Amino acid sequence: MISWVENGDPRARSVLRDLKPPQARTRVIGLTGAPGAGKSTVTSALVRAFRARGRRVAVLAVDPSSPFTGGALLGDRIRMQEHATDDGVFIRSMGSRGQLGGLAAATPQAIRVLSAAGYQVVLVETVGVGQAEVEIASEADSTVVLVVPGMGDSIQAAKAGLLEVADVLVVNKADRPDTQATLRDLRHMVSLSTSDWKPPIVPTVGTTGDGVDELVGRLDQHDAWLESSGELARRRLARARDEVTALVLGTLAKHITVPDELAARVAEGRCDPLEAAGELLDSAVTFKELGCRDRRPPGQASPPGTG
Amino acid sequence: MISWVENGDPRARSVLRDLKPPQARTRVIGLTGAPGAGKSTVTSALVRAFRARGRRVAVLAVDPSSPFTGGALLGDRIRMQEHATDDGVFIRSMGSRGQLGGLAAATPQAIRVLSAAGYQVVLVETVGVGQAEVEIASEADSTVVLVVPGMGDSIQAAKAGLLEVADVLVVNKADRPDTQATLRDLRHMVSLSTSDWKPPIVPTVGTTGDGVDELVGRLDQHDAWLESSGELARRRLARARDEVTALVLGTLAKHITVPDELAARVAEGRCDPLEAAGELLDSAVTFKELGCRDRRPPGQASPPGTG
Q: List per-residue pLDDT tens for chain A, 307 residues long.
A: 888 877 777 787 778 777 776 667 899 999 987 767 888 889 999 999 999 999 999 998 876 554 433 334 444 455 566 777 788 898 887 765 544 445 656 788 888 889 988 999 999 988 655 556 666 667 889 999 888 887 565 565 555 566 778 899 999 999 998 899 889 888 888 888 788 899 999 999 999 999 999 999 999 999 999 999 999 999 889 888 888 888 888 777 777 888 889 999 988 878 888 888 888 877 654 544 444 433 333 334 444 443 3
Nearest partner of B143 among B126, B158, B119, B155, judged by Cα: B126
- The whole-number pLDDT of residue B91 equals 85
The kind and range of the H/E element at B125 are strand B121-126
> Does the distance separating the beta carbons of B275 and A266 come in below 8 Å?
no
Rounded CA separation A88/A111 (Å): 16
Rounded CA separation B95/B70 (Å): 4
Which stretches of chain B score pLDDT less than 70? 21-23, 35, 63-81, 95-105, 127-137, 151-162, 283-307
Of B65, B239, B256, the CB nearest to A245: B256
Q: What is the DSSP letter of A99?
A: -
String of b and e for B135-147 (b: at least 16 CB within 10 Å)?
bbbbbbbbbbbbb
Of A66, A243, A263, the CB nearest to B160: A66
Please give the full DSSP string across B38-65, using - where no structure is assigned. -HHHHHHHHHHHHHHTT--EEEEEE-TT
- Which amino acid is located at B233 in the chain? A
Q: What's the gap in Å between the CA of B202 and the closest CA on chain A?
A: 24
Rounded CA separation A70/B149 (Å): 25
Q: What is the pTM of this model?
A: 0.65
Please give the full DSSP string across A164-189, using - where no structure is assigned. HH-SEEEE-STTSTTHHHHHHHHHHH
- Residues of chain A positioned with their CB less than 8 A from the CB of B141: none
Rounded CA separation B150/B185 (Å): 10
A-B contacts (CB, under 8 Å): 202
- The whole-number pLDDT of residue A229 equals 96
- The whole-number pLDDT of residue A67 equals 40
Q: What's the gap in Å between the CA of A112 and the closest CA on chain B?
A: 9
Q: What's the gap in Å between the CA of B65 and the closest CA on chain A?
A: 4
Domains of chain B: 2-231 (3.40.50.300)
- Residues of chain A positioned with their CB less than 8 A from the CB of B96: 131
Q: Do the Cβ atoms of B111 and B28 come closer than 8 Å? A: yes
> Does the distance separating the beta carbons of B96 and A64 come in below 8 Å?
no
Rounded CA separation B156/B259 (Å): 42
3-state class percentages of chain A: helix first, strand second, coil last, to nearest 5: 50, 15, 40
Exposed/middle/buried for residue A190 (C-beta within 10 Å: 0-12, 13-18, 19+):
middle
Rounded CA separation B141/B130 (Å): 19
- Residues of chain B positioned with their CB less than 8 A from the CB of A164: 68
Nearest partner of A276 among A262, A295, A261, judged by Cα: A262
Q: Which residue of B has its CA nearest to A35?
A: B156
- The whole-number pLDDT of residue B12 equals 79
Q: Do the Cβ atoms of B179 and B203 come closer than 8 Å? A: yes
